[in-house]
Chains A and B, each alone.
Chain A
Amino acid sequence: MREDTIYWRSFEELTNHPDFVKNSQNEFNLPTAAEQDEAAQAPDRRDFLKKVGFGLTAAALASCETPVRHVIPFLAAPEQIDYSNANYYATSYLLEGEYCSLLIKTKAGRPIKIEGNKLSSITRGGTSARVQASLLGLYDSARYKKPELGKKEATWAAVDAKLALAVKSGKKVVLVTPSTPSPSFNEVVSRLKASIPTFEHVVYDALPNSGIIKANKINFGTGVVPSYDFSKAHTIVSLGADFLGTWVSPIEYSRQFGKMRRLGKQTKHMSRLYVVEPLMSLTGANADVRIMAKASQVGAYAAALYNAVSAKMGQASGVDAVTGIDTKAIARMADDLVANKGASLVVAGSNDPAVQQVVNAINYTLGNYGNTLNLTIPLLTNTGTEEGIASLVTGLQNGSIGTVIFSGVDPVYTHPQGDTLKGLLKNAVTVSLDHTPTDTSDVCGIVAPGHHFLEAWGDYMPKPGFYSLGQPVITPLFQTRQAEETLLKLAGYNGQYYDFIQAVWKTKVFPQQSIYTSFTQFWNYTLHDGIFEVGRPSLRGKELAANGGDLEAPYEYLSISGTAPASFAFSNRVAATLAAKPASTGMEVVVYQKVGMGAGTQGNNPWLLEFPDPITRITWENYVTVAPEVATAKGISLNECQTSLVTVKVNGKEYSLPAIVQPGQDPNTLGIALGFGRKVVGKAGEGRGKNVFPLVSLAAGFTDYIAKGATLENTSETYMIGAVQTSHTNAGRPVIQEATLAEYQKEATAGRYMPKINTPDGPMNPTDLSLWKTEVNKRPNHAWGMNIDLNSCIGCGACVVSCNVENNVAIVGKQEVVNRREMHWIRIDRYYSSQKTRDEGASNTELETAAKNPRVTFQPMMCQHCNSAPCETVCPVLATTHSSEGLNQMTYNRCIGTRYCANNCPYKVRRFNWFSYPQNAERFSIGTFNDSLARMVLNPDVTVRARGVMEKCSFCIQRIQDGKLQAKKEGRRPVDGEIITACAQACPTDAITFGDMNDPNSRVSAAINEQYEERAFRVLEELNVRPSVSYLTKIRNT
């Protein structure tokens, strides 16, 4: 730079304007604090902090609720805030009682991806399909964009005025919310109580755990949902509890469960899971031993199990022999449980307190409390009971209630008496604080829309001592307002909720720790970590170094190993009555939750609607699942996507739905999923399936999901359903390789199919053969590879949605799914076992029909990145070639769409753009491509594919490049675990490992090397296409 030249960025700088000088210092206060702090840290965690360090700035940046001084435009951004770099912010998810600690990836100020936060010792970086998809709720064009009064857009002032009036009516003011374990929200409620004498807070959870709570109240005097630890349980008995899919806190349990399913040179033991259930649930699909039973029989099973266990433990159970159940299985369970007493766990899905009491009794007898269950650190995310909503109904009937405020609940849809409620609501001033229209908000006179959780502040305490912060990651898109602020206004507090939370934390949370001296510091780092767990040292500093970049908290921190409860009040009569209770006669309808849909809060989310159900592999709607024998009797058959409509009559209600033949389902049970058929939902969810909440009933005041005395008629009317898989068994082919634990312990290669090719030099491994002398597969730098443990994969499908989000995968709609053209880059093949094996001389047809109670295997399948890729050879225009890092690359620009590659792919993982999915609103109006708002979710690093080109899994090459770039900028090699695909990131059980196979220490190399010529296999090895993806055999602890 020449002396005589002055370089300047703005006139202010040139003129050295005082404001400029001031701002240039003030503006950067927060980040520089962070930077200095970073500088002091060990190199291992540099990369992580580099990303989340921005959180501090960005927390401010994104939150318009906070005073303007925090807003830093990209124009004058601190240097680490780079328009083209992704920033990650920690926040929290709580929906339908499912809690998850998250990192939100934002690019150019837009949230574009949700990832699990490994710092949380509850969810440990796991996510679920629903969590992954919740991102799109932010960009849902059905959202309320302005406050409304009587369905007319209004100003906030007007709304506030109305509200102020409404609460002064002198009549009762009821706030209805789902259970919200949030210190600040509780503070809001108490303030409202204080300022409005007639105020009442009703907690309403659509799918309550009231049975568990009641049982614990009776048995232990504390009405709570305990913490379960499946990672300590060697024997697990689930009586119809789908704890891997939908029961209480699935993400947490999946992670724990997955830990117990890992096998290797060191660990030759795994947990054994017994499941007794009427329908085929995700948990049932992962069971080692699965017993089909009528839902109304499960109680009897519980009693019988209690009986057997007590007998073994030398106690009286007061239960006589239970009839009509699989006693052999019970005996076996009992043996197993007792053998592992203290390290076993029995859970029940039933909401009947009696059943739960018996289960408690079993666990108590086995001394599981304090080991695998903990009452002192209960789970607070779903503690609602039926009383609340009942009181609301009565209150509305007798006119004592003047105002009802709904926030985050949709009783009109989810409550069995929804329609009655709907009528009654006319008698009161009704307010909705929801951000998106629901059947309930639709009847509300006042709509004061709150934020989507990605726009809002929040704090949670899913378990006592486990705190979690929620921060906005984007400026509110519409004229919505933090629900709590709307409420606080009624309590006469007009400040920002941000300040409110801080105030609460200063007094309530800050004192619980001793690491940080100043609250600001504590706040900033907690916000950065997203969580604060009492008694746990800061995650920053030496712990991270110890974990070598792998940020998952060690399990010790899940400090739920509390003490066994002092007293246990249980009368054997409960068990006895259960045992005596006869199973209902005739058919039962069991209404259940789909892994992807739950109670339907996200009913307008096309990602979830097109997400194939892990078990049935069907998309877009609900249906009646029917046991095979019933299907044959009623003449119901599934032919490809064609099935027949059936009418289900029960409790005087009638449903006409498509029928699905479901192996492994109790013949006297029909299953229908909740969460569909919302009336007010939005374009994507419009008219999808039927609403079966009306079938939910109250048995002695407790929500009951079983409707007895059902009839099924086949209206031989054909109906097309969007199934992505229509052949259900592996047809006796070694595409999945499995063995029992016993076999595995004897011989590590058990269940392996090791094809040999006969050559003049004797039989050889396919991979040792080649036509070519020259080796062009050189991997000078990296060799990316993936390993999938079929044992810890539970098939939940979080990876599928995660991939859709990350890679801008097109949503094609039901009709195109029916045409067998869904675009998913990763799919989870679900295979049932057939009655007879090929060795037992089964015919093809027999091999292709599933057994009555089949063993289930899930196999995530995506591009295998073959090193001798058949797809590459046949492409005429070199549109798909191999990279020097072992990636099978797809060059969209070059593709002319002959589809030869897809035909020649033995794994059928290539997807073709049959139409123009973007810029095609008339054909594909639903989805993320043709909606100006939803389009904001698209990942700017990934091309949106044009019509007529082929596409497929790219191993998230954009993530690889990003990671390499980061490392390069810092002049180092990428650290293992730093570059990881979207599917691997989302996996709650860490079944998918991704990394560099050139690095002998990488986890993927370790996984493969350790299990080399043992469990590690490649699908269709005999074809010698040399995939980069390897699998570990499925081992069943039968």
Chain B
Amino acid sequence: MEHGPKKYIIGVYADDDVVLQAVPQVRAQGIRIYEVYSPFPIHGIDPALGYKRSRLPIAAFMFGATGLTCAITLISLTMGSDWPLNVGGKPHVSVSMVPVVFEGTVLFAALGMVGSFFLASNLGPGSKKVIFDPRASDDKFIIAIEVDSNKKTPEEDIKQALRNTGAIEVYEKEVEV
């Protein structure tokens, strides 16, 4: 996408339920919403925005599987083939590996998934993400609409649409993405 500041129309809402109703109405007018920002998760807004279900669970499962395999491999190699020592006359590789395998699985799954999350959402120390309105982390709910991606709708209509859906404040903002 081309660089340089972009123009956004910001709608500020005071209540999560209002936003929840606003989003479908705005979208119904063919306006493409850039993103909604809120201090806490608004349940049910993802379908309204047309977001698909996150694939992180799948990632978690994959990583878990990897952990499982690694643990089993490590144990059977070190205890079984690399140097099979006689420990208390017990079999070299036995069920006594279960605890370690389990922990390995959990560790891989957790770290892997969280890692993917950070990557996907571009989170991390020093990551610069646009903050349209700092109040979004306090008690306000923000709908941001990119002007360029809504060429066919006049800006006034967009603002109007936001006001109509209960925005307590609407303004324009130039942001470097």
| Chain A residues at the B interface, C-beta cutoff of 8 Å | 772-777, 866-873, 875, 878, 881-884, 1026
Contacts of B85 in A (CB 8 A): 878, 881-882
Of A775, A866, A873, which contacts B87 at CB under 8 A?
Answer: A873
Contact A872 B94 (CB under 8 A): no
Q: Please report whether the interface of chain B is mostly helix, strand, loop or mixed according to DSSP.
A: loop
Q: B91: CB under 8 A from chain A?
A: yes
Contacts of B84 in A (CB 8 A): 776
**Looking across the interface, which residue of chain A has its beta carbon closest to that of B86?**
A882
Contacts of A873 in B (CB 8 A): 87-88, 90
One digit per residue, 1 when the CB lies within 8 angstroms of any chain A CB and 0 when it does not, for chain B 73-103 equals: 0000000000011111111101000000000
Contacts of B91 in A (CB 8 A): 772-774, 776
Closest beta carbon of chain A to B36's beta carbon, Å? 52
Of A773, A776, A875, A878, which contacts B89 at CB under 8 A?
Answer: A776
Bound state CA distance, A866 and B90, in angstroms? Answer: 12
Closest beta carbon of chain B to A902's beta carbon, Å? 15
Contact A1026 B89 (CB under 8 A): yes
Contact B86 A884 (CB under 8 A): yes
Closest beta carbon of chain A to B78's beta carbon, Å? 10
Please, could you name 29 A-B residue pairs with CB atoms under 8 Å apart, sorted by A?
Answer: A772-B89, A772-B90, A772-B91, A772-B94, A773-B91, A776-B84, A776-B86, A776-B89, A776-B90, A776-B92, A777-B86, A866-B88, A867-B89, A869-B88, A869-B89, A872-B86, A872-B87, A872-B88, A873-B88, A873-B90, A875-B87, A878-B85, A881-B86, A881-B87, A882-B85, A882-B87, A883-B86, A884-B86, A1026-B89
Bound state CA distance, A776 and B86, in angstroms? Answer: 7
**Looking across the interface, which residue of chain B has its beta carbon closest to that of A872?**
B88
**Looking across the interface, which residue of chain A has its beta carbon closest to that of B92?**
A776
Bound state CA distance, A875 and B88, in angstroms? Answer: 10
Bound state CA distance, A774 and B95, in angstroms? Answer: 13
Bound state CA distance, A867 and B87, in angstroms? Answer: 9
Contacts of A867 in B (CB 8 A): 89
Bound state CA distance, A772 and B87, in angstroms? Answer: 13
Bound state CA distance, A761 and B67, in angstroms? Answer: 41
Contacts of A871 in B (CB 8 A): 88
Closest beta carbon of chain A to B54's beta carbon, Å? 40
Bound state CA distance, A878 and B87, in angstroms? Answer: 8
Contacts of A870 in B (CB 8 A): 88
Bound state CA distance, A180 and B147, in angstroms? Answer: 120
Bound state CA distance, A1026 and B89, in angstroms? Answer: 10
Contacts of B92 in A (CB 8 A): 776
Contact A882 B88 (CB under 8 A): yes
Q: Sorted from nearest, which 4 A-B pairs have the closest CB atoms?
A: A882-B86, A873-B88, A872-B88, A868-B89
Bound state CA distance, A882 and B92, in angstroms? Answer: 12
Closest beta carbon of chain A to B65's beta carbon, Å? 27
Closest beta carbon of chain B to A742's beta carbon, Å? 40
Closest beta carbon of chain B to A904's beta carbon, Å? 10
Contacts of B90 in A (CB 8 A): 772, 776, 868, 873
**Looking across the interface, which residue of chain B has its beta carbon closest to that of A884?**
B86
Bound state CA distance, A870 and B87, in angstroms? Answer: 9
One digit per residue, 1 when the CB lies within 8 angstroms of any chain A CB and 0 when it does not, for chain B 37-52 equals: 0000000000000000
Contacts of B94 in A (CB 8 A): 772
Query: Which of B84, B87, B89, B92 is the most central at the interface, judged by chain A CB atoms within 10 Å of its CB?
Result: B89
One digit per residue, 1 when the CB lies within 8 angstroms of any chain A CB and 0 when it does not, for chain B 100-141 equals: 000000000000000000000000000000000000000000
Question: Considering only CB atoms and an 8 Å cut-off, how many residues of chain B contact the other chain?
Answer: 10
Bound state CA distance, A903 and B92, in angstroms? Answer: 23
Closest beta carbon of chain A to B84's beta carbon, Å? 8
Contacts of A772 in B (CB 8 A): 89-91, 94
Closest beta carbon of chain A to B114's beta carbon, Å? 29
Closest beta carbon of chain A to B103's beta carbon, Å? 15
Closest beta carbon of chain B to A868's beta carbon, Å? 4
Bound state CA distance, A869 and B88, in angstroms? Answer: 5
Bound state CA distance, A188 and B88, in angstroms? Answer: 63
Closest beta carbon of chain B to A745's beta carbon, Å? 38
Closest beta carbon of chain B to A876's beta carbon, Å? 11
Contacts of A875 in B (CB 8 A): 87
Query: Which of B85, B90, B92 is the most central at the interface, judged by chain A CB atoms within 10 Å of its CB?
Result: B90
Closest beta carbon of chain A to B77's beta carbon, Å? 15
Bound state CA distance, A867 and B90, in angstroms? Answer: 10
Contacts of B88 in A (CB 8 A): 866, 868-873, 882
Contact A777 B89 (CB under 8 A): yes
Closest beta carbon of chain B to A776's beta carbon, Å? 5
Closest beta carbon of chain B to A242's beta carbon, Å? 44
**Looking across the interface, which residue of chain B has its beta carbon closest to that of A878?**
B85
Bound state CA distance, A875 and B90, in angstroms? Answer: 13
**Looking across the interface, which residue of chain B has its beta carbon closest to that of A1025?**
B88
Bound state CA distance, A870 and B88, in angstroms? Answer: 6
Bound state CA distance, A991 and B53, in angstroms? Answer: 79
Bound state CA distance, A91 and B94, in angstroms? Answer: 56
A sample of 12 more A-B contacts (CB under 8 A), given A776-B90, A882-B87, is A776-B84, A776-B89, A776-B91, A776-B92, A866-B88, A868-B88, A873-B87, A873-B90, A878-B87, A881-B87, A882-B89, A884-B86
Closest beta carbon of chain B to A843's beta carbon, Å? 36
Contacts of A775 in B (CB 8 A): 89
Bound state CA distance, A281 and B1, in angstroms? Answer: 101
Query: Which of B85, B88, B92 is the most central at the interface, judged by chain A CB atoms within 10 Å of its CB?
Result: B88
Bound state CA distance, A871 and B88, in angstroms? Answer: 8
Bound state CA distance, A884 and B91, in angstroms? Answer: 14
Contacts of A872 in B (CB 8 A): 86-88
Closest beta carbon of chain A to B163's beta carbon, Å? 68
Bound state CA distance, A884 and B84, in angstroms? Answer: 12
**Looking across the interface, which residue of chain A has its beta carbon closest to that of B78?**
A878
**Looking across the interface, which residue of chain B has its beta carbon closest to that of A770?**
B89
Bound state CA distance, A866 and B89, in angstroms? Answer: 9
Contacts of A869 in B (CB 8 A): 88-89
Closest beta carbon of chain A to B75's beta carbon, Å? 13
Closest beta carbon of chain B to A1016's beta carbon, Å? 21
Bound state CA distance, A923 and B90, in angstroms? Answer: 42
Contacts of A881 in B (CB 8 A): 85-87
Bound state CA distance, A881 and B85, in angstroms? Answer: 7
Bound state CA distance, A868 and B87, in angstroms? Answer: 8
**Looking across the interface, which residue of chain A has its beta carbon closest to that of B83?**
A878
Bound state CA distance, A56 and B91, in angstroms? Answer: 53
Closest beta carbon of chain B to A880's beta carbon, Å? 9
**Looking across the interface, which residue of chain B has its beta carbon closest to that of A881?**
B85
**Looking across the interface, which residue of chain B has its beta carbon closest to that of A874?**
B88
Bound state CA distance, A867 and B92, in angstroms? Answer: 15
Closest beta carbon of chain B to A940's beta carbon, Å? 28
**Looking across the interface, which residue of chain A has its beta carbon closest to that of B84?**
A776
Closest beta carbon of chain A to B86's beta carbon, Å? 4
Bound state CA distance, A869 and B89, in angstroms? Answer: 7
Closest beta carbon of chain A to B167's beta carbon, Å? 63
Bound state CA distance, A878 and B82, in angstroms? Answer: 14
Bound state CA distance, A882 and B84, in angstroms? Answer: 11
Closest beta carbon of chain A to B80's beta carbon, Å? 11
**Looking across the interface, which residue of chain B has its beta carbon closest to that of A778?**
B86
Bound state CA distance, A870 and B84, in angstroms? Answer: 18
Bound state CA distance, A878 and B92, in angstroms? Answer: 12
Bound state CA distance, A883 and B87, in angstroms? Answer: 9
Closest beta carbon of chain B to A896's beta carbon, Å? 16
Contacts of B86 in A (CB 8 A): 776-777, 872, 881-884
Bound state CA distance, A881 and B88, in angstroms? Answer: 7
**Looking across the interface, which residue of chain B has its beta carbon closest to that of A882?**
B86
Bound state CA distance, A1029 and B86, in angstroms? Answer: 19
**Looking across the interface, which residue of chain A has its beta carbon closest to that of B85?**
A881
Bound state CA distance, A867 and B89, in angstroms? Answer: 6
Query: Which of A872, A875, A883, A1026 is the most central at the interface, judged by chain B CB atoms within 10 Å of its CB?
Result: A872
**Looking across the interface, which residue of chain A has its beta carbon closest to that of B87?**
A872
Bound state CA distance, A389 and B90, in angstroms? Answer: 69
Bound state CA distance, A866 and B85, in angstroms? Answer: 15
Contacts of B89 in A (CB 8 A): 772, 775-777, 867-869, 882, 1026
Closest beta carbon of chain A to B79's beta carbon, Å? 9
Query: Which of A772, A776, A869 is the most central at the interface, judged by chain B CB atoms within 10 Å of its CB?
Result: A776
Bound state CA distance, A872 and B90, in angstroms? Answer: 10
